[in-house]
Structure 1
Amino acid sequence: MKGPTMTTASSSTPTVHLDPAVQSVGHMLRRRVAATPDRRAYSFPTEDGSWDVVTWAQLGIQAAEVGAGLVSLGVQPEDRVAIASTTRYEWVLTNYGIMDASAATVTVYPTTIADDVQFILDDSDAKIVFVEGAEQLAKITGLRDQLPKVEHVVLMTGRIPEGTDTSWVLTMLDLRHRGVLALRENPALVDERVDATTMEHLATLIYTSGTTGRPKGVRLPHRVWVFEAYTADATAKSAGEDLLTIDDKQFLWLPLAHVMGKLFMVLPLHYGFETAVDGRIDKIVDNLAVVKPTFMASAPRVFEKAYNGVEAAMVAKGGITEKLYRWAVKNGGAVFEADHGVGHAGAFTRWQAKLGDRIVLSKVRERFGGRARFFISGSAALNPEISRWFGAVGMPVLEGYGLTESSAGTTLTQPSQYRTGYVGRPLNGIEAKVDSDGELLLRGPSIMDRYHNNPEATAEVFTEDGFFRTGDIAEIDDQGRIRITDRKKELFKTSNGKYVAPALIESTFRGLCPVASQMVVIGNNRKYVGALITLDDAAITAWAEKAGITGSYKEIVSSPQVHGLVGGYVDELNATLNRWEQIKTYRILPRDLTVERQEITPSLKLRRKVIAEHFNYDIEKLFEE
């Protein structure tokens, strides 16, 4: 097989020097506990609404109990242990315990349908399954006859329901008690497991949520996580910056079953900063004001919703308040862009920006806790206009890029190298090239080992010289910064032979329309391009109230006023597009897309095949003559 022809390549990247004494996530945890035992490690909400805190020393003890408990159940090195839970402290603790046992974590989204759960647990050979509560327990116990390899289920929260077979199900407290007894018998039990773990031992098995077809199990050895932590630090320092320090505070809401969430559980081990963890999506904005983080990583949809929320609030206030806000954002944006190589901001503009920041934008930042130095966006493209807005407000969003197969962290914008619409340079130690057809290719220590039990799929994604085919279309500028333009498989061709990149159009629309939730661009083999549109419930309800429109969400979005509003933004979108890309017709759906209906992934990406099935009637209506 002939290797691909490269049309563009990033500049060579410095080597990352790893500590040979750190061979695994377990080694990283042990070193962190020894280095800063009394510093705060994690904080998390309790049932009464307050926040509890554990130090690194406390976390180390608890994780060792979980790890020793797993060993007492017969878990061997690299045995698979699954977690089916939302993001919460118990997820974090369980993962660290699995690392202490030298086992491998298999991640399962709590929203995953039973059929896929059965496939993942069976394909991974999971021996133990941790479940969050009664709902997840019922899902697993309902599959018991189809899960002969699962030896035990551990209930992380709550009590075991009456009538449950307790020879198969035990609580987290039961497991930790077993761990305490095992450690009394052999105090070195966990240390022995960690000491025997090497870089190439399997640490994580993540089944890609997938927008089509059966999920593929991505095998990530300890090597990738150790490398990710060290390269994040080394890359920032080589740019003359300390992006993260021990004094930072992270707010972690990301699904921990997702590779990006996993990465942000590893970074605290290296840096030692505190992480506030709470996966309730409806509490993100409220939590920011309480937690007061210095940074947060997120998928773009959260930044879009936060931006739309501020915009809607300013429009609702109107008058001088809205005018001052627009003035402040305009000047703040001009200075931010000028400081990053776009345009010019003179002394008067800078004076206005400082004044606007003091009287307006500082109050906007308070909505986000008032301490945020930056945010990190990944998982999908962030709309450039929203990126500019956050920069203007004084909380720049540093875009990063990666896939499950590349351990999430492949590129990251450094503040000094910021360019709107770009995801930064490759991290130190990672090579990036663009193939002749525009596909981005990657090589380096962060790339997966292989797909689990799937040699055919593995062979398809690696070139002869070891580069991983990302499936993303990209450009690399003269400074080595990468711009992702679309998914290769999502590009479609109209019946007129013109290619269309739907994700870019969809992202642009969400940035333009403050009441938008989703846009799904459709037009494969069609004469023209159409779109399905959903609106954000809170945003459109607030707009409707001001416009004097009453009724349910379905009634509001079907009103002529809302169609006129959305149509105006579609026209604005079309003005930015080539003729063959323009949205000729659209339909506003009577409800939003949901994770529960499998229409979007837990990381908020569109599942186009499912959407096409659920809204086939609406799609056909788009293209009626």
Structure 2
Amino acid sequence: MSMTDAPTTSFVESPLRFDSLCAAFQHRVGAHPDRTALQLPDGSGVLTYGDYGRRVQAIATGLASLGVGPGDTVALQLTNRPEFHLLDTAVLHLGATPFSVYNTNPAAVTTGLLHNSDATVFVTEEAFLPVVREAVAGAPTVQRVITVDGGDADLTLAELEALDAPDGFDFDASWRAVGGDAVCTIVYTSGTTGAPKGVQHTHAGLLFGLDSMNLLCPISEAGRVVSYLPMAHIAERYISHYASLAYGYSITCVPDPTQLAAALAMTRPTRFFGVPRIYEKLRGAILAAIDGEQDPARKAGMQGALDAGLAKVRAEQAGEEPTAEQQAAFEQADELVLSKFRAKLGMDELEWSAVAAAPTPYVVLEFFHAIGVRVAELWGMSECVLSTSNPPNGRIKLGSVGYHLPNVQVRLADDGEILVKGPNVMCGYRKDPEKTAEAVDADGWLHSGDIAEADEDGYLRIVDRKKELIINAAGKNMSPAHIEMTIKGESNLIAQVVAIGDARQYVTALIVLDPETVVPYAANRGIDTTDIAALAEHADIHAQIAAAVERGNAKLARVEQLKAFTVLPVAWVPGGDELTPTMKMKRKVIDEKYADVIAGLYG
């Protein structure tokens, strides 16, 4: 099966018929009580929608006995495990607001979120308990700390579920009273440019967005998704958690991101969303398999099949119909090799696949289309969720984020900034009317801070963040993301490229290796080390990176070309100093941390 099999008619009801996500969920529980709702990557821990509904009622009852009710907030710091969905959904059924904390947050950052949110209950895991206790010590509103798996907490989840209902509590009346204007969640921005802001979304706003998603690419009955990105990120909440409440997906929860490949293979999802780094890793796995193939004939056949797929994609992207010869070569390649690539990745039953959150190298998009996975780039942000997308059932233009979703208004300001208007736009930053007014003007237009260009068909291409454009010493404006993607796309050994050049005479870069591809590459060539620092200095690896920079430079304007670069002797990890948990670069932190290295590039 390929992405061309995406449905063109919806098999599910519009979520707009419901007043809240609670009502949508209760409809799913009643309609499909025996359908699998939640499971783990090995197929264990299965909860049906009937089980899910019963656990939500028990947890909501326990929370009500602790005094949680309409307008209250509950903090969650959990990995992607079934208990997250149970707890978040239970809090919603009380008319309260759940929100997630990044598991990599230091205690001081979490304390700030607790002050802003006024959370009264904090639910976590034993592994995070020491940091949570430290954070809670500075947040007087938090009255209880609950763990889902034991440890020195005030209560365990099992104890919470065993609590008696408080006098007068009526579970059904509670969730039925939740209206569309109730705040459904707070999403704290990742803080790449300053302190996190609390983005608030209502039930009605999220239901509107979910309906737009169905209108964009109709949702088939009994869909399957894999949940693996942080739940503190709006994309994961939206595409797995909220969509399952509205559409009855079966979710495979992945507590450990290293289990993603196994989860994809077991689940064979119908819908999949990833940030660019995930697609880069999946592509790297296939390319490494080709590179490591010992049989010359098989290796040539695999590469030939990929070349046939690329030839077809390149013709389509040029606005041409593939020739009969190209089409025949692709069909043969698909039957013999490319379909097996999809099956290896667990992507052989996809009806929709998307990427967002950061720029995606063109070669990565091209690769997936070549193997028959029609990845659609889309655009959104915490403040407006999903707002533009390439049409999965129409023409996908690689390198663009498509056009506005149904019933969402999108336009470009005079300077190219993307403006968005519609019910999908946040209801405001929590406790910050000043910043809310800066972001959303008096006419309801959200000013995104992203600069884009529109083509003749209305497809948008993101140029860069308004605040991240490089202006060199001669006054030339450049997009660091464009430079970085161009260089990065020339070698799957590269994990990150950071373009430097603001107020300087020329552009340089910091380059970070990808351990998941560079280590097997080295092993296949007899380089006997897995140490990243040693590999960064190895002549063979350095030559590969230099060649990639040379090829990338040939695709860039002269003023954008790298005049110098250095390969850093470290790997960067999500949630570390240099990357947010969703793998966005913290440019200010990088500039400060590597100031001496950068100075050396201009010495």
TM-score (norm 2): 0.93
Matched, 1:315 2:296: no
- Aligned residue number for residue 335 of structure 2: 358
Closer/same/farther in 2, CA of residues 371 and 21 from structure 1, 3 Å limit: closer
* Bigger shift: residues 327-336 or 380-389: 327-336
CA contact (8 A) 2:487 2:553 kept: no
Closer/same/farther in 2, CA of residues 504 and 467 from structure 1, 3 Å limit: same
Matched, 1:126 2:119: yes
- Aligned residue number for residue 82 of structure 1: 75
C-alpha distance in 2 between matches for 1:352 and 1:18: 41
CA contact (8 A) 2:404 2:410 kept: yes
Alignment partner of 2:173 out of 174, 177, 192: 192
- Aligned residue number for residue 5 of structure 1: none
- Aligned residue number for residue 575 of structure 1: 554
* Bigger shift: residues 405-414 or 350-359: 405-414
Instruction: Classify the secondary structure of the residue corresponding to 2:590.
Output: helix
1:120-199 equivalent positions in 2, closer than 5 A: 120-133=113-126, 135-157=127-149, 159-161=150-152, 169-178=154-163, 181-182=164-165, 189-199=170-180
After TM superposition, give the deviation of residue 374 of structure 1 in Å.
4.0
After TM superposition, give the deviation of residue 104 of structure 1 in Å.
0.4
Alignment partner of 2:527 out of 549, 562, 581: 549
Instruction: Classify the secondary structure of the residue corresponding to 2:489.
Output: helix
Letter in 2 for 1:258: H
- Aligned residue number for residue 227 of structure 2: 252
Letter in 2 for 1:40: T
Alignment partner of 1:487 out of 436, 443, 465: 465
After TM superposition, give the deviation of residue 67 of structure 1 in Å.
1.4
C-alpha distance in 2 between matches for 1:585 and 1:245: 50
After TM superposition, give the deviation of residue 550 of structure 1 in Å.
2.3
Letter in 2 for 1:557: A
C-alpha distance in 2 between matches for 1:561 and 1:160: 49
Matched, 1:501 2:479: yes
C-alpha distance in 1 between matches for 2:271 and 2:136: 42
How large is the Cα RMSD of the aligned pairs? 1.9
CA contact (8 A) 1:398 1:415 kept: no
CA contact (8 A) 1:78 1:203 kept: no
Any stretches of 5+ residues in structure 1 without a counterpart? Answer: 1-16, 237-241
- Aligned residue number for residue 202 of structure 2: 221
Instruction: Classify the secondary structure of the residue corresponding to 2:68.
Output: coil
Instruction: Classify the secondary structure of the residue corresponding to 1:595.
Output: coil
1:381-392 equivalent positions in 2, closer than 5 A: 381-392=359-370
C-alpha distance in 1 between matches for 2:32 and 2:577: 42
Alignment partner of 1:263 out of 227, 234, 238: 238
C-alpha distance in 1 between matches for 2:16 and 2:417: 34
Alignment partner of 2:381 out of 389, 403, 406: 403
C-alpha distance in 2 between matches for 1:247 and 1:107: 27
C-alpha distance in 1 between matches for 2:318 and 2:535: 43
CA contact (8 A) 1:160 1:170 kept: no
Any stretches of 5+ residues in structure 2 without a counterpart? Answer: 1-12
- Aligned residue number for residue 96 of structure 2: 103
CA contact (8 A) 2:575 2:583 kept: no
C-alpha distance in 2 between matches for 1:562 and 1:498: 33
Closer/same/farther in 2, CA of residues 64 and 478 from structure 1, 3 Å limit: farther
Letter in 1 for 2:543: G
CA contact (8 A) 2:98 2:186 kept: yes
1:285-364 equivalent positions in 2, closer than 5 A: 285-317=261-293, 319-338=296-315, 342-364=319-341
C-alpha distance in 2 between matches for 1:260 and 1:592: 25
1:49-68 equivalent positions in 2, closer than 5 A: 50-68=43-61
* Bigger shift: residues 80-89 or 537-546: 537-546
After TM superposition, give the deviation of residue 553 of structure 1 in Å.
2.1
CA contact (8 A) 1:130 1:153 kept: yes
After TM superposition, give the deviation of residue 577 of structure 1 in Å.
0.6
C-alpha distance in 1 between matches for 2:378 and 2:69: 35
C-alpha distance in 2 between matches for 1:72 and 1:509: 57
Matched, 1:280 2:256: yes
C-alpha distance in 2 between matches for 1:207 and 1:434: 26
* Bigger shift: residues 282-291 or 604-613: 282-291
Alignment partner of 2:213 out of 199, 222, 232: 232
C-alpha distance in 1 between matches for 2:355 and 2:16: 31
- Aligned residue number for residue 113 of structure 1: 106
Letter in 1 for 2:107: A
Closer/same/farther in 2, CA of residues 409 and 275 from structure 1, 3 Å limit: farther
- Aligned residue number for residue 514 of structure 1: 492
C-alpha distance in 1 between matches for 2:351 and 2:178: 36
Closer/same/farther in 2, CA of residues 553 and 378 from structure 1, 3 Å limit: same
Runs of at least 4 residues of structure 1 off by over 3 A?
17-21, 336-341, 408-413
C-alpha distance in 2 between matches for 1:585 and 1:541: 25
- Aligned residue number for residue 11 of structure 1: none
CA contact (8 A) 1:276 1:291 kept: yes
After TM superposition, give the deviation of residue 583 of structure 1 in Å.
0.9
Alignment partner of 1:588 out of 561, 567, 574: 567
C-alpha distance in 2 between matches for 1:500 and 1:108: 34
Give the fraction of aligned pairs with identical amino acids, expressed as a percent. 30
CA contact (8 A) 2:409 2:421 kept: yes
After TM superposition, give the deviation of residue 37 of structure 1 in Å.
1.6
After TM superposition, give the deviation of residue 99 of structure 1 in Å.
0.8
After TM superposition, give the deviation of residue 359 of structure 1 in Å.
1.4
Instruction: Classify the secondary structure of the residue corresponding to 2:165.
Output: helix
Letter in 2 for 1:330: D
After TM superposition, give the deviation of residue 341 of structure 1 in Å.
6.2
After TM superposition, give the deviation of residue 21 of structure 1 in Å.
5.2
